[in-house]
Amino acid sequence: MPVLRRENTRPPRSPRRRPTAGILLAALSLLLTLPASLAQAADTPARGSAHMGMGVLAHDGRDGTPSTGDATQTEGVDVSSHQGNVAWSTLWNSGVRWAYVKATEGTYYTSPYFAQQYNGSYNVGMVRGSYHFATPDTTGGATQANYFVDHGGGWSRDGRTLPGALDIEWNPYGAACYGKTQSAMVTWIRDFLNQYKARTGRDAVIYTATTWWTQCTGNYGGFAAANPLWIARYAADPGTLPAGWGFYTMWQYTSSGPTVGDHDKFNGALDRVVALANG
């Protein structure tokens, strides 16, 4: 009897396709760029963590030891949640006589250490004020001025309260100029300053660095007549000031001072600090 053979009914296998050169290159490119993008995201600080001078070292660097010559200067500090609870008596005993405290950022953040820092500096005898870290890419200038005044940025004529300060500098969360043109940045700043004065009766202090101001406002000089300048530069002197200002009122000269990192000089004796407080 003949043996019946079973026919193979499976379809023939298709030849295995090899990845094309284009696919391989695309995959390799993804692998090479992915770690960099993840590192960039990891390096971006959390919203609310910004503080005065955060970008100065990265963009302006440090150059030399501060020297004020024979000019009378009054030592000050600026603090934020970055410093936590501050030893105000230690600072007072070291000669610090005035302070600025971060109150707000954008319209989404208030410092959890504001009360300890703002009241603590006052209670130890200092003349003190508060500052707002501007984020022009999130909300308008007038809106942020209102938020600042409503959350610690007010002013009273008690001889111990300085006018509020607008901290306008490099964007720690993205593009240096917050995605704005120079003219749009000037408009944003003007809106903030006008609204702050409407709410408090005072012209706000402008804190900035000359290199940022030049890059992001086109070195605009129109605020110099009314708004005191607080210049940031970690060097032997304040250097070239932004257009319009013939002198600085305050100078942040280091981020590595004793007790608290950010130390400042007021361009005058203590009675001039009190004069600014009184308007």
Q: Give domain 56-278's CATH number out of 3.20.20.80, 1.10.287.130, 3.10.129.10, 3.10.20.740.
A: 3.20.20.80
Q: Which of 128, 161, 129, 148 is nearest to 279 (CA)?
A: 161
Tens digits of per-residue pLDDT, 55-86?
A: 565 555 555 556 555 579 999 999 999 999 99
Q: What is the phi/psi pair of residue 167, to 5°?
A: -90, 105
Sorted by sequence, the CB contacts under 8 Å of residue 270 that are 6+ apart come out as 74, 97, 127
The rounded percent of the chain whose pLDDT value lies above 90 is: 72
User: What pLDDT is recorded for position 35?
Assistant: 43
**Which of 60, 105, 169, 203 is the catalytic position?**
169
**Looking at the DSSP assignment, which residues form a beta bridge with residue 131?**
102, 165
**Looking at the DSSP assignment, which residues form a beta bridge with residue 276?**
none
**Which of 60, 167, 203, 264 is the catalytic position?**
167
Q: How would you write the pLDDT of the chain (279 residues) with one tens digit per residue?
A: 444 444 444 555 544 555 455 544 454 444 444 443 333 455 787 877 566 655 565 555 555 556 555 579 999 999 999 999 999 999 999 999 999 999 999 999 999 999 999 999 999 999 999 999 999 999 999 999 999 999 999 999 999 999 999 999 999 999 999 999 999 999 999 999 999 999 999 999 999 999 999 999 999 999 999 999 999 999 999 999 999 999 999 999 998 888 888 999 999 999 999 999 999
Sorted by sequence, the CB contacts under 8 Å of residue 171 that are 6+ apart come out as 55, 135, 137, 177, 178
Is 169 labeled as catalytic in the residue annotation?
A: yes
Tens digits of per-residue pLDDT, 125-169?
A: 999 999 999 999 999 999 999 999 999 999 999 999 999 999 999
* Residue 163 token pair: 């006018």
**Which of 60, 78, 262, 264 is the catalytic position?**
78
For the chain, domain boundaries: 56-278
Is 75 labeled as catalytic in the residue annotation?
A: no
Is 237 labeled as catalytic in the residue annotation?
A: no
